[in-house]
Amino acid sequence: MNIQNKKLWLALATVAPFIDNNDLNGAKGAVFNVLFVAKTKKEFKEKVRFKLLEFGYVLENLEDIEPFDFKKTYGDNLNNLAEIALQTENIQWGTFYIYD
C-alpha cells in the first residue's frame, strides 16, 4: 500500500442502478456515504464513478466531498469503514438508503 500524498475522502453519493441490476429491488436509486483514497478531489470523483460502474450503478451526484477527519465521530459506522479504506485502498460505503 502506497498512500503517500493521498487522502481519504468522504462524500454523499446518489446512484441509479443499471436496468439489469436488481440490488435495490426495483427502487429508482439510493443515497449513501462513500469513502475512497485519492490524491485530489477530482481523482476521488473519477475513482468513485468508475468503481460504481463496476458494481452496476450510475453515479448521479456526489456532494459534500471532504477529506475524512479522524478526530470526528461519524455515524453509519464510517470510522470503522475509514480504517478499512485506508488499509486496503478499496472503496467503502455506508448504508444504502433507497428511494422510489
Q: What is the pTM of this model?
A: 0.89
Whether residue 31 contacts residue 99, with contact meaning beta carbons closer than 8 Å, is answered with: yes
Domain edges within the chain: 7-99
What span, in angstroms and rounded, lies between the C-alpha atoms of 100 and 93?
A: 20
pLDDT digits 0-9 by tens, 37-51? 999 999 999 999 999
* Strand residues in 18-84 grouped as ranges (E): 29-38, 57-67
Low-confidence spans in the chain with pLDDT less than 50: 1
Q: CA distances (Å), 30 to each of 23, 55, 63, 65, in order? A: 10, 13, 14, 17
